[in-house]
Chains A and B, each alone.
Chain A
């Protein structure tokens, strides 16, 4: 192989990487990093401090991104699968987090909203919360898979009712758990300086990576998303696969529910996980996945979730009002999607070609 050939093959590999969808979140991440480097270099400093109970904890903006972005990243896993298989999004995840969080607190508190000790083990409560969330997922999934409703419409039902159901579980009271061990899941486990949500998210990533690597889940989901009829002719059951991805999303929601209620030790039905469904969908879109279903890249989605959290933290750092943040976020998102839109990229590449042609003709002349 001549040197020229090697160079050209290297170039195609590089070009292929550039065209890969994970480049969209990576480019966004690089831009944000650059922006922060120019603005304030101390953004990236990580220090070891001690919290109120004297345990060592890592602090810094990067850690807070890892910490606060974990719910979003966990949701992005389920949302990617749902998007890929059913060609639509679940907009009820925020409300379902309220349901599962409320179920967890109900089990832990029993009848007394402010118990001295927890009634059951946290693990049992967590299982109940997951079960509640998975039932919500199964409900959505059944509507999508068997009644053939569009996912956004089907999940609109729980989006409307979810927070009310959550309030109903606890008779609209605000249960509070004072036991410090309940706060471990949204804070720090004594002795481990890394925030627990980030660790939980890491476990979720490993599980989903293993599931995609060693089972046919990814293949089946993509084939159902790309062409439902063909996958049925090939012996898959599209309805069952759709139902399964919604239940998987339910599981992700249950995990997020535990983290969310553990952060505050209590629940506010109308505020908990508000607008998180929109962020989760954005994370999937930022990862370059088609929202109309089909092929997906899980790592790009997860990266997209952290990019979104990075953006939010950056905006907070610039001392923008928390209520006005959404406006800036919208502008950034629009810029990102416009840049990654196929129509725009096509135009840009045509323009590049024209420029190159002109330069070539100029050099030969």
Chain B
């Protein structure tokens, strides 16, 4: 019941009983995010009350949002992909070299990004779905391959000087009505980068696809229970393949968005980004066992992670180690909450089932 609670629902009794696991975990994330933000606004004041602060967090994390969406998809279908960080680095390095050393244009750079992402998704998806090799090993090799290839393409980090790309990188989209007034009373408009729009579009698209299309429900079915999904007539292999393919594609897009944000190529780009993406997905309520999760939760997971980082540094704990320790503590807290709730619900379900039969 608890794992595939999204498929058919007969409501159990008890507290929180009328939400599926997915919705419950998502709402916890959203609530925690809102509480943290309110705390930041009222407890820490000025900076956080400006909408631009939130937009800056989104600007810096647009790529991470896209990567996390891909990971959420794979995790819902019961797999894992740890190559996304490596693919991001590879994409930004290839695009940078293409633009600066081969006189490329922005459009072909985008095609390269998509191509790299698709290639990784295709190969990894085939190996995982059709040759039944453990996803962890395949994507681990993918990560090593991408990281190694990045240094083969180019060793030194460098900034891209291509004019067309710079124009694209510096494009800001104004957000009407959310600007703020500075000390002299002058209006400063709020704005976001293109990457944020792309990320939000992807989140919206994936939310609808996962909720209301047949393919979307297949991901949940396969992740919840492979055997039952097979018996229900779901093409399990193709679904797994599609999940990894889409994750690779999203890693390509995310890589380009990352590239647009930093505007440089470097082998050390996006190091550890795969773990950030996994952590965001988990905080957003996706479970690694599969079958439970939601991209809206993932979006808030990313935002919560970076919000806690900025809160920690504005409180004054600015030694380098505090950031990681608080992020880990937050992850730990979320995981324990999730585990307790799931165990509690299982018990409620069991006792209600026992009551019915007895």
Asked if residues B151 and A321 are in contact (CB atoms below 8 Å), the reply is yes
Report the bound CA distance from A108 to B148 in whole Å.
Answer: 37
Asked if residues A329 and B144 are in contact (CB atoms below 8 Å), the reply is yes
Within the complex, the shortest CB–CB distance from B131 to chain A, in Å, comes to 5
Binds B, one of A56-64, A235-243, A256-264, A339-347: A339-347
Chain A residues lying within 8 Å of B8, measured Cβ to Cβ, are none
CB neighbors of A among B318-339 (8 A): 319-325, 327-329, 331-332, 335-336, 339
The number of residues on chain A lying at the interface, defined by a beta carbon within 8 Å of a beta carbon of chain B, is: 45
The verdict on A331 contacting chain B, using a C-beta distance below 8 Å, is yes
Residue of A nearest to B329 (CB): A161
CB neighbors of A among B132-149 (8 A): 132-134, 136-138, 140-145, 147-149
List 18 extra interface pairs beyond A150-B287, A164-B323, CB under 8 A.
A160-B324, A160-B331, A163-B324, A164-B320, A165-B321, A167-B320, A167-B321, A168-B321, A281-B137, A323-B267, A324-B148, A327-B149, A329-B148, A330-B142, A333-B144, A334-B127, A334-B145, A338-B131
Asked if residues A148 and B140 are in contact (CB atoms below 8 Å), the reply is no
CB neighbors of B among A297-335 (8 A): 321, 323-331, 333-334
Nearest 7 Cβ contacts at the A-B interface: A327-B148, A161-B328, A164-B321, A330-B145, A164-B324, A330-B144, A326-B148
The verdict on B225 contacting chain A, using a C-beta distance below 8 Å, is no
The verdict on A226 contacting chain B, using a C-beta distance below 8 Å, is no
Asked if residues A337 and B137 are in contact (CB atoms below 8 Å), the reply is yes
Q: Which of A153, A165, A172, A321 has the most CB of B within 10 A?
A: A153
Report the bound CA distance from A278 to B272 in whole Å.
Answer: 13
Given the known inter-chain contacts A161-B327, A167-B321, A168-B325, please indicate yes or no for A143 contacting B335, CB distance below 8 A: yes
The verdict on A12 contacting chain B, using a C-beta distance below 8 Å, is no
The verdict on A109 contacting chain B, using a C-beta distance below 8 Å, is no
Asked if residues A153 and B141 are in contact (CB atoms below 8 Å), the reply is no
Asked if residues A165 and B144 are in contact (CB atoms below 8 Å), the reply is no
Chain B residues lying within 8 Å of A327, measured Cβ to Cβ, are 144-145, 147-149, 151-152
Report the bound CA distance from A163 to B328 in whole Å.
Answer: 11
Given the known inter-chain contacts A148-B343, A152-B288, please indicate yes or no for A159 contacting B140, CB distance below 8 A: no
Chain A residues lying within 8 Å of B339, measured Cβ to Cβ, are 147-149
Report the bound CA distance from A285 to B287 in whole Å.
Answer: 24
CB neighbors of B among A176-216 (8 A): none
A-B contact pairs, 5 of them (CB 8 A): A156-B275, A164-B322, A167-B321, A327-B147, A341-B131
Within the complex, the shortest CB–CB distance from B223 to chain A, in Å, comes to 13
The verdict on B160 contacting chain A, using a C-beta distance below 8 Å, is no
The verdict on A352 contacting chain B, using a C-beta distance below 8 Å, is no
Report the bound CA distance from A172 to B327 in whole Å.
Answer: 19
Within the complex, the shortest CB–CB distance from A246 to chain B, in Å, comes to 16
Residue of A nearest to B86 (CB): A326
Report the bound CA distance from A143 to B331 in whole Å.
Answer: 12
Within the complex, the shortest CB–CB distance from A28 to chain B, in Å, comes to 14
The verdict on B13 contacting chain A, using a C-beta distance below 8 Å, is no
From B80, B148, B319, B321, A328 is in contact (CB under 8 Å) with B148
Chain A residues lying within 8 Å of B343, measured Cβ to Cβ, are 148
Residue of A nearest to B324 (CB): A164
Chain B residues lying within 8 Å of A342, measured Cβ to Cβ, are 132
Asked if residues B133 and A337 are in contact (CB atoms below 8 Å), the reply is yes
Chain A residues lying within 8 Å of B282, measured Cβ to Cβ, are 153, 156
CB neighbors of B among A273-298 (8 A): 278, 281-282, 285, 291-292
Within the complex, the shortest CB–CB distance from B88 to chain A, in Å, comes to 16
Asked if residues A164 and B131 are in contact (CB atoms below 8 Å), the reply is no
Report the bound CA distance from A248 to B192 in whole Å.
Answer: 50
Residue of A nearest to B132 (CB): A343
Given the known inter-chain contacts A153-B335, A327-B149, please indicate yes or no for A333 contacting B327, CB distance below 8 A: no
The verdict on B227 contacting chain A, using a C-beta distance below 8 Å, is no
From A165, A172, A330, A341, B133 is in contact (CB under 8 Å) with A341
Report the bound CA distance from A158 to B278 in whole Å.
Answer: 14
Asked if residues B136 and A291 are in contact (CB atoms below 8 Å), the reply is yes
Asked if residues A172 and B321 are in contact (CB atoms below 8 Å), the reply is yes
Q: Interface of B with A (CB < 8 Å)? A: 80, 127, 130-134, 136-138, 140-145, 147-149, 151-152, 155, 267, 275, 278-279, 282, 287-289, 319-325, 327-329, 331-332, 335-336, 339-340, 343
From A153, A172, A278, A343, B131 is in contact (CB under 8 Å) with A343
Question: Could you mark each residue 207-251 of chain A with 1 if its beta carbon is under 8 Å from any beta carbon of chain B, else 0?
Answer: 000000000000000000000000000000000000000000000
Chain B residues lying within 8 Å of A338, measured Cβ to Cβ, are 127, 131, 133
Within the complex, the shortest CB–CB distance from B60 to chain A, in Å, comes to 18
The verdict on A80 contacting chain B, using a C-beta distance below 8 Å, is no
Report the bound CA distance from A282 to B142 in whole Å.
Answer: 13
Asked if residues B335 and A160 are in contact (CB atoms below 8 Å), the reply is no
Report the bound CA distance from A156 to B142 in whole Å.
Answer: 19
Chain B residues lying within 8 Å of A156, measured Cβ to Cβ, are 275, 278-279, 282, 331
Report the bound CA distance from A89 to B136 in whole Å.
Answer: 10
Report the bound CA distance from A45 to B89 in whole Å.
Answer: 40
Asked if residues B151 and A281 are in contact (CB atoms below 8 Å), the reply is no
Asked if residues A285 and B134 are in contact (CB atoms below 8 Å), the reply is yes
Report the bound CA distance from A163 to B319 in whole Å.
Answer: 13
Chain B residues lying within 8 Å of A160, measured Cβ to Cβ, are 275, 279, 324, 327-328, 331
Within the complex, the shortest CB–CB distance from B142 to chain A, in Å, comes to 7
Report the bound CA distance from A291 to B130 in whole Å.
Answer: 18
From A161, A326, A344, B144 is in contact (CB under 8 Å) with A326
Report the bound CA distance from A278 to B287 in whole Å.
Answer: 22
Within the complex, the shortest CB–CB distance from B272 to chain A, in Å, comes to 9
Within the complex, the shortest CB–CB distance from B226 to chain A, in Å, comes to 12
The verdict on A154 contacting chain B, using a C-beta distance below 8 Å, is yes
Within the complex, the shortest CB–CB distance from A107 to chain B, in Å, comes to 19
Given the known inter-chain contacts A152-B288, A344-B131, please indicate yes or no for A330 contacting B327, CB distance below 8 A: no
Report the bound CA distance from A281 to B140 in whole Å.
Answer: 10
Chain A residues lying within 8 Å of B319, measured Cβ to Cβ, are 172
Asked if residues A334 and B138 are in contact (CB atoms below 8 Å), the reply is yes
The verdict on A157 contacting chain B, using a C-beta distance below 8 Å, is yes
Chain A residues lying within 8 Å of B149, measured Cβ to Cβ, are 324, 327
Report the bound CA distance from A341 to B288 in whole Å.
Answer: 23
Chain A residues lying within 8 Å of B144, measured Cβ to Cβ, are 278, 326-327, 329-330, 333
Q: Which of A89, A149, A344 has the most CB of B within 10 A?
A: A149
Chain B residues lying within 8 Å of A150, measured Cβ to Cβ, are 287-289
Report the bound CA distance from A21 to B167 in whole Å.
Answer: 57
